[in-house]
Structure 1
């Protein structure tokens, strides 16, 4: 029997568990740990609430979770309730699949002013993550600045721009829906250091902006390169830039009261204000050839954007765990192709940093299981001396750690669905205590 511990119940965690089942069949037991009492990681709290089709992938993870060989172990914080060393004593392999839940910092003056948020916290607020549900952003100023040129920046801008009716069918949490309905934000400026050809936005997400009922996307035609240069782009990038060209050539839409402005060649230099953010100081840039492609360099031209809300969407980094080597520059665990040290591995964003799609984690999970099979054997029946699941259960009981299992999560799931407002798939619990109460696991 092989005993595998996976820390993190998001896509990387469940794809890795699926791979372990294919590798060892009935000769493996997999425990998937999570700090929260609910599974699925960024599928639940990172994917935009109006992208319900993407969230449907959780049904695949549920199939894995309901096998006898896989167990969800929720409400357990690794590094606090139990150490990595203790897990390694209990399991043949420990795999860190913790994702990258923390915001990268810009490192600019004023970044810590009130009403300046990283995208992880802001997205967590409207997605009902217990760590961010109490964020309470002020939406009373007419201008919001979104820093970044990726899909997360687009998600944030779209959520800020939508009318309440446009959230029908989404699982946005009630506190965010109420706040957004009363929002005074009417201008959303998306800042990007480089130009349209360097965006990390996909065509689908860009195209959604054209269909919002009250928002008008705007691009300065002068920011666009000659159309002939689009031929050098890959098809997806070319299609995305095509959306930007359509925004630039579209007729004015005065009947829509929200403007979503793309401000390219714009590098934030400082965020200023007294009691909270009041302005973003920006330097105009130009592109130069660099060792890794076109890079933005400052021109010395400075301008300021009055703003009452700033959301920084420049990427994420993994949470550190005591006694696990960390790559500060990469924002991930220090590893060699997923191996951290004997018996300890990482996968997904915790291994490679926040890159790729949800589906990218599947081959990553299968690759790490192949490496583990090389390291610990193919499951030929020999005993490793590890106690695995029973050993952890004894330790948890000794320490009074309250474990939430997948059957408990199913009760939480049923309660959230039952509590849904009209037209919504669910109303999420936003506090751990509410989740545990709904699970009935302390009865």
Structure 2
């Protein structure tokens, strides 16, 4: 019998478990660990609450989790409750699938001013992540600046722009909805240091900006390249740029009918956050782009900012005893191999790139590496006890392990507590989650 431990229960973790099942059938036992009492990682606390169709992929992970040879072990912090060395003594292979839960810093002066937030924290706040539920951003000002040219920046701008009725059917948590309801924001500036042809935004997310009840997107026509140049782009990017051209063509009369303006400002690199104790404005340098790379022009201007959300990327969390590449923000690896018997997958392996679906081939790929190492004898001769050994350790240390059956009780309680039209009302602290399992 092969015993595999997976650290992290998000998309990368469950696709890896699925791959192991398909590879070895009943000849494998897989334990999926998570520091939270609830599974699904990014699906639960990273995907925008108004994108419920994307969250539906969790049903696939549930099918894997409910099989006899896969077990969810929540409320277990690897590196604190149990060490990697402990797991290595119990499991034949360990796969790190922790994602990239921390914000990448800009490293700019004034980044520590009040009301400057990273997107991991801000998105975690409106999604009810226990670590960020108490963020309490101040939305009483009129100007917000969102830094970044990817879908997360679009998510943040869209969430800040929506009316309460537009959140119908979403699972945004009540504490965030209450603050957004009272928001005084009237202008949201999205800053990107490169141009329209270098965006990482996808057509679907850009298109959503055209259908907001009280907000309209704006693009300066002068920032757009010659339309003939769009023909050289790959189809998805070409369609995204066509949305930008549509934004630039919106008449001023339409903008005047809307309460909120979303201004997408290209060739704009933030260089400093300014204010007296709290952010008041962002100093920006105008850039030029050559061969896809942005460089400063020495021309500066200021953008008013009562709130700043930086959406420039993420990095993985260091785990004691495991090598970590601080510069890259991920675990150093060779096709998923970190050390003998120790692997990584998903964002923990490649950094924060790709979509949720990208984790499926990544999960299957790392299991192929594990299979190669089993076949070559690199993982030893077997004899490890897997979950039986972990259960003994958990009992000896008094760990309160949350099972998938427990999670289903938590889920039922969240569904029962949902406001009208919402799929659930998430518990936003660990103690409440554990109490809800009964």
Classify the TM-score, shorter chain.
over 0.9
Deviations 1:192-247 (A, max 9, x none): 00000100000000000000000010000000001000000001000000000000
Is 1:430 aligned with 2:428? yes
Query: What CA RMSD, in Å, does the superposition of the two structures yield over aligned residues?
Result: 1.1
Using the alignment, how far apart are the partners of 1:374 and 1:200 within structure 2? 35
2:148 aligned partner: 148
The residue that corresponds to 2:395 in the other structure is 397
Aligned to 2:296: 298
Paired position in structure 1 for 2:135: 135
Distance in 2, matches of 1:53 and 1:192, equals: 28
1:346 to 344, 347, 351: 344
Pairing 1:328–2:330 present: no
What's 1:260 paired with? 262
Q: Is the 8 A contact 1:36 1:432 kept in 2?
A: yes
2:277 alignment counterpart: 275
Q: Distance in 2 between matches of 1:296 and 1:25?
A: 50
Partner in structure 1 of residue 243 of structure 2: 243
| Paired positions, count | 434
- Which residue of structure 2 lines up, in the alignment, with residue 388 of structure 1? 386
Matches within 5 A, 1:179-190: 179-190=179-190
Question: How far 1:274 sits from its partner (Å)?
Answer: 1.5
Q: How big is each residue's C-alpha offset from its partner over 1:339-374, in whole Å with a ceiling of 9 and x where there is no partner?
A: 000010000100000111101101111111111011
Matches for 1:312-327 after TM superposition, within 5 Å:
312-327=310-325
Q: What are structure 1's unaligned runs of at least 5 residues? A: none
Alignment match, 1:287: 289
Q: What is the SS of the residue equivalent to 1:364?
A: helix
**TM-superposition CA deviations, 1:397-423 (whole Å, max 9, x none):** 111111000000000000000000001
Residue 170 (1) aligns with residue 170 (2): yes
Tell me by how many angstroms 1:112 deviates: 1.1
Distance 2:418 2:331 in 1: 38
Q: How far apart in 1 are the matches of 2:375 and 2:224?
A: 56
Q: Which runs of 5+ in 2 are unaligned?
A: none
Q: TM-score, normalised by structure 1?
A: 0.97
Please give the alpha-carbon distance, in whole angstroms, between the structure 1 residues aligned to 2:361 and 2:194.
32
Partner residue in 2 for 1:119: 119
Spell out, residue by residue over 1:228-287, the C-alpha distance to the aligned partner (whole angstroms, 9 max, x if none).
000000010000000000000111221110000000000000001122111100000111
Give 1:40's aligned residue. Answer: 40
CA distance in 2, matches of 1:108, 1:383: 52
1:409 pairs, out of 407, 412, 421, with 407
Cross-structure match for 2:104: 104
Match of 2:290, SS state, is: strand
Name the counterpart of 1:74.
Answer: 74
TM-score, normalised on structure 2? 0.98
The offset of 1:329, in angstroms, is: 2.0
Residues 96-117 of structure 1: CA distance to partner in whole angstroms, max 9, x if unpaired?
0000010000010011111000
Deviation at 1:378, TM superposition (A): 9.3
Q: Could you give the per-residue CA deviations for residues 133-178 of structure 1, whole angstroms, max 9, x where no partner exists? A: 0000000110000000000000000000000000000000000000
On the 8 A contact 1:24/1:378 being kept in 2, the answer is no
8 Å Cα contact 1:5/1:93 also seen in 2 = yes
Distance 1:296 1:362 in 2: 33
Following TM superposition, the consecutive aligned residue runs of length 4 or more in structure 1 with deviations greater than 4 angstroms are none
- Matched residues in 2 for 1:227 and 1:42: separation? 37
